[in-house]
Chain A
Amino acid sequence: MIAVTRRRPELGLLFWVAALGITGSVAVAAAEVAGFRPQQLVVPATFVVIAFALHVFLAARGVRGDQLLLPIAAALTALGLVLVQRLASNLLVQQLSWTLIAAGAFAATILIPKDLTALSRFKWTWALLGVLLLISPLLPVIGREVNGARIWLGVGTVTFEPWEAVKILLVIFFAAYLEEFREVLAQTQRRFGPIPVPPVPYLVPIVAMWAIAMVVMVFERDLGATLLFLGIFLAMLYLATGEVFYTLIGLLLLLVGGFVAYHVFGHVAARVDIWLHPFADDVRFDTGYQLVQGLFALANGGLFGAGLGNGMPDRIPVVWSDFVFDAFAEEVGFAGAIALLSLYLLFVYRGMLIALRAPTPFLQLLAAGLSFIVALQTLVIVGGNSRLIPLTGITLPFVAYGGSSLVTNWMLVALLIRVSDMTARVRGTP
Chain B
Amino acid sequence: MTRSIAANIRGLTLAIAMTFLVTSVGVGYWTLVAGDELGSDPFNPRLVAAIRDRPRGFIKDSAGNTLAESVQTPDGYKRVYRDKTLAHVTGYASFQFGASGIEAAYAESLVGQDPGDPLSQWRARYLRERAPPGSIVLGIDPKVQKAAVDALGGRRGAIVAIDPRNGAILASVSWPQYDASLISDPATEDATWKQVNADPDKPLINRVTQGLYPPGSTFKIVTGAAALESGVDPNAKVRVDDPWQADKSWGSYFVRSSSRAHGDYTMADGYRLSENIYFAKIGLQIGGPKLAEYAQRFGIGSSTRCDITGAKGQLSRTGVLDRPTLVADTSYGQGELLVSPLQMALVAAAVGMGGVMPTPHYATEVRDAEGHAIRVIAPGPIGQVIRPETARTLTTMLVGAVEGPGAFAFAAKIAGVHVAGKTGSAENPSGAPHGWFVGFAPAESPTVAVAILLENSPRGGEDAAPLGGRVMQAALGK
Our pick among B5, B16, B35, B126 for the contact of A300 (Cβ within 8 Å) is B35
Q: Is A219's CB within 8 Å of the partner chain B?
A: no
Chain A minimum-CB-distance residue to B19: A379
Chain A 316-367 residues near chain B, CB threshold 8 A: 329, 333-334, 337-338, 341, 344-345, 348-349, 352, 355-356, 361, 364-365
**Least Cβ distance of A72 to chain B in Å?**
15
Check if B10 sits within 8 Å of A356, measured CB to CB: yes
Check if B30 sits within 8 Å of A368, measured CB to CB: no
Check if B13 sits within 8 Å of A382, measured CB to CB: no
Q: A293 to chain B: which residues have CB within 8 Å?
A: 45
CA distance A329 to B29 in the complex (A): 12
Check if A301 sits within 8 Å of B45, measured CB to CB: no
Check if B38 sits within 8 Å of A349, measured CB to CB: no
B1-26 interface bits toward A, Cβ cutoff 8 Å, 1 = contact, 0 = none:
01101111111110011011011101
Check if B30 sits within 8 Å of A295, measured CB to CB: yes
Our pick among A238, A240, A304, A387 for the contact of B126 (Cβ within 8 Å) is A304
Tell me the dominant secondary structure on chain B's binding face. helix
Q: B35 to chain A: which residues have CB within 8 Å?
A: 299-302
Our pick among B11, B13, B26, B31 for the contact of A301 (Cβ within 8 Å) is B31
A391-409 interface bits toward B, Cβ cutoff 8 Å, 1 = contact, 0 = none:
0000000000000000000
Check if B27 sits within 8 Å of A238, measured CB to CB: no
Check if A302 sits within 8 Å of B27, measured CB to CB: no
Q: Is B155's CB within 8 Å of the partner chain A?
A: no
Q: B289 to chain A: which residues have CB within 8 Å?
A: none
Binds B, one of A33-41, A181-189, A197-205: A181-189
Q: Is A25's CB within 8 Å of the partner chain B?
A: no
CA distance A349 to B343 in the complex (A): 65
Check if A296 sits within 8 Å of B45, measured CB to CB: yes
Q: Is A383's CB within 8 Å of the partner chain B?
A: yes
Check if A299 sits within 8 Å of B45, measured CB to CB: no
**Least Cβ distance of A328 to chain B in Å?**
11
Q: Is A235's CB within 8 Å of the partner chain B?
A: yes
Residue among B12, B17, B20 with the most chain A CB within 10 A?
B12
Q: A187 to chain B: which residues have CB within 8 Å?
A: 2
B62-77 interface bits toward A, Cβ cutoff 8 Å, 1 = contact, 0 = none:
0000000000000000
Size bin of chain B's contact surface = 35 or more
Q: Is A284's CB within 8 Å of the partner chain B?
A: yes
A97-122 interface bits toward B, Cβ cutoff 8 Å, 1 = contact, 0 = none:
00000000000000000000000000
**Least Cβ distance of B46 to chain A in Å?**
5
Chain A minimum-CB-distance residue to B2: A186
Q: Is B383's CB within 8 Å of the partner chain A?
A: no
Check if A338 sits within 8 Å of B27, measured CB to CB: yes
Q: A386 to chain B: which residues have CB within 8 Å?
A: 23, 26-27, 29-30
| Given known A364-B6, A386-B30, contact A299–B38 (CB-CB < 8 A) | yes
Q: Is A71's CB within 8 Å of the partner chain B?
A: no
Tell me the dominant secondary structure on chain A's binding face. helix
Q: Is B119's CB within 8 Å of the partner chain A?
A: no
| Given known A239-B8, A375-B16, contact A300–B23 (CB-CB < 8 A) | no
Q: A241 to chain B: which residues have CB within 8 Å?
A: 2-3, 8
Q: B41 to chain A: which residues have CB within 8 Å?
A: 296
Check if B3 sits within 8 Å of A242, measured CB to CB: yes
Q: Is A56's CB within 8 Å of the partner chain B?
A: no
| Given known A302-B128, A303-B126, contact A242–B31 (CB-CB < 8 A) | no
Q: B13 to chain A: which residues have CB within 8 Å?
A: 348-349, 352
Q: B6 to chain A: which residues have CB within 8 Å?
A: 356, 364
Chain B 78-124 residues near chain A, CB threshold 8 A: 124
Q: A388 to chain B: which residues have CB within 8 Å?
A: 22-23, 26
Q: Is A305's CB within 8 Å of the partner chain B?
A: yes
Our pick among A299, A348, A382 for the contact of B31 (Cβ within 8 Å) is A299
**Least Cβ distance of B453 to chain A in Å?**
33
Check if B38 sits within 8 Å of A334, measured CB to CB: no
Q: Is A283's CB within 8 Å of the partner chain B?
A: no
Our pick among B12, B17, B34, B125 for the contact of A368 (Cβ within 8 Å) is B12
Our pick among B16, B23, B29 for the contact of A372 (Cβ within 8 Å) is B16
Chain A minimum-CB-distance residue to B36: A299
Q: Is B243's CB within 8 Å of the partner chain A?
A: no
Q: Is A123's CB within 8 Å of the partner chain B?
A: no
Chain B minimum-CB-distance residue to A368: B9
| Given known A235-B12, A240-B8, A299-B34, contact A383–B2 (CB-CB < 8 A) | no
Check if B27 sits within 8 Å of A298, measured CB to CB: yes
Identify 9 residue pairs between A and B in the complex whose beta-carbon atoms are under 8 Å apart, listed by A's number: A239-B5, A299-B31, A299-B39, A312-B46, A341-B27, A348-B16, A368-B8, A383-B23, A388-B23
Known: A302-B35, A375-B19, A386-B30. 10 other contacts (CB 8 A): A182-B2, A186-B2, A235-B12, A242-B3, A300-B39, A344-B20, A352-B13, A375-B20, A386-B23, A388-B23
What 6 A-B pairs are tightest by C-beta distance, nearest first?
A: A242-B3, A299-B38, A301-B31, A303-B126, A298-B30, A334-B31
